[in-house]
């Protein structure tokens, strides 16, 4: 037997395999870059004295909800570019094209597919989730995995469906964050101008926000979803004549992990159904 610890099957290889197994168990199932990084070198750099910080950029509408450190270039410049591109789109098809081609968000590099929307544009309810998971990334459609199947059952329970023209579905992020990690504030800020334009072009009557990411992004709040859910709020969208009644609710993935919380989700759905009935009596219940 070899005594060299670096030989195949030696202690070094076993240690590396164990480290890989931990990463997999924690959800890091995608390579971020072609070439490996020398993390030890990075630590050495991090220990060096900090470089002077760049000058603060002008305050920016889409960045007003993120931490001050993100309101500096290059994030602010990329958000400004996202706003210009989103505003240039006059149709949903044009928006899909400019968004898919937008290279200011690094998630684009690691995702398999760009996931734009599903259902019928113009539907009275627009549901906004967080971002694609593994199945959505593979298929290029939102909410087609386990949480999507629960979502479809939840909507059906109040007579709505993405198939019958009553619900249109999208996400804050069109690209899957690697290993399903939570999106960063800057990734959300970069996608928000496209989401706001998406809403303006789809012209729903009501917005339903599934989970904390869309709730914080569109309500400009920093509280958790359990505080934000269950109450109607009005959201202003540029080019829409009236602010949109918007309801935040628990994400179906959370409900799969916490079935006891379905009671709260059900009471949110009842609120949605009542408001819809007041606007369009009986819609979707035929
Ligand atoms: N979770 C989301 O928020 N969106 C999807 O499309 C799938 C899972």
Q: What is the pLDDT of residues 51-108, one digit of tens each?
A: 444 444 433 445 555 555 555 568 999 999 999 999 999 999 999 999 999 999 999 9
Q: Is the CB of 183 under 6 A from ligand 1?
A: no
Angle, CA of 237, 239 and 244, to the nearest 5°: 35
Could you report the per-residue pLDDT of 17-57, keeping only the tens digit for each?
A: 765 554 554 445 555 555 555 544 444 444 444 444 444 44
CA of 61 relative to ligand 1 center, distance in Å: 26
- Record the tokens describing residue 33, joined without a space: 């870059």
Q: Is the CB of 119 under 6 A from ligand 1?
A: no
Does residue 58 form part of some domain? no
Does residue 38 form part of some domain? no
Q: Is the CB of 193 under 6 A from ligand 1?
A: no
Does residue 262 form part of some domain? yes
Does residue 27 form part of some domain? no
Angle, CA of 266, 254 and 105, to the nearest 5°: 120
Q: Is the CB of 143 under 6 A from ligand 1?
A: yes
CATH number (domain holding residue 118): 3.40.470.10
3: helix, strand or coil? coil
What is the residue range of 150's domain?
Answer: 74-279
Q: Is the CB of 174 under 6 A from ligand 1?
A: no
Does residue 68 form part of some domain? no
117: helix, strand or coil? coil
CA dist 228 → 127, 143, 248 (Å): 16, 22, 6
Number of domains in the chain: 1
Nearest to 98 by CA among 109, 84, 112, 110: 84
Q: Are strands 244-249 and 125-129 parallel, antiparallel or unpaired?
A: unpaired
Task: Choose which residue among 111, 141, 152, 171 to substitute to test ligand 1 binding: the one with the highest number of ligand atoms within 8 A of its C-beta.
Answer: 171
Contact predicate 162/202, CB 8 Å: no
């Amino acid at each position: 037997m070899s005594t060299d610890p670096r030989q195949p099957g030696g202690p070094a290889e076993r240690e590396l395999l164990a480290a890989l197994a931990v990463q997999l168990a924690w959800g890091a199932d995608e390579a971020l870059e072609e070439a490996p990084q020398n993390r030890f070198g990075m630590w050495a750099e991090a220990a060096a004295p900090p470089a002077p910080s760049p000058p603060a950029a002008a305050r920016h509408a889409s960045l007003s909800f993120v931490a001050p450190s993100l309101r500096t270039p290059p994030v602010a410049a990329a958000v400004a570019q996202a706003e210009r591109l989103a505003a240039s789109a006059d149709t949903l098809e044009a928006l899909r094209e400019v968004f898919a081609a937008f290279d200011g968000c690094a998630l684009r590099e690691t995702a398999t597919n760009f996931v734009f929307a599903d259902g019928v544009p113009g539907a009275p309810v627009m549901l906004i989730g967080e971002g694609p998971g593994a199945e959505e990334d593979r298929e290029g459609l939102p909410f087609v995995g386990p949480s999507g199947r629960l979502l479809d059952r939840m909507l059906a329970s109040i007579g709505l469906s993405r198939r019958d023209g009553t619900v249109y579905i999208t996400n804050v992020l069109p690209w899957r964050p690697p290993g399903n990690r939570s999106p960063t504030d800057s990734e959300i800020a970069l996608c928000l101008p496209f989401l706001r334009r998406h809403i303006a072009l789809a012209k729903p009557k009501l917005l339903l926000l599934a989970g904390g990411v869309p709730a914080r992004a569109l309500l400009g709040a920093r509280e958790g979803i359990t505080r934000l859910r269950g109450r109607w709020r009005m959201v202003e969208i540029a080019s829409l004549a009236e602010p949109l009644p918007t309801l935040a609710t628990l994400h179906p993935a959370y409900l799969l992990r916490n079935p006891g919380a379905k009671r709260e989700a059900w009471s949110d759905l009842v609120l949605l159904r009542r408001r819809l009935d007041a606007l369009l009596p009986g819609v979707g219940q035929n």
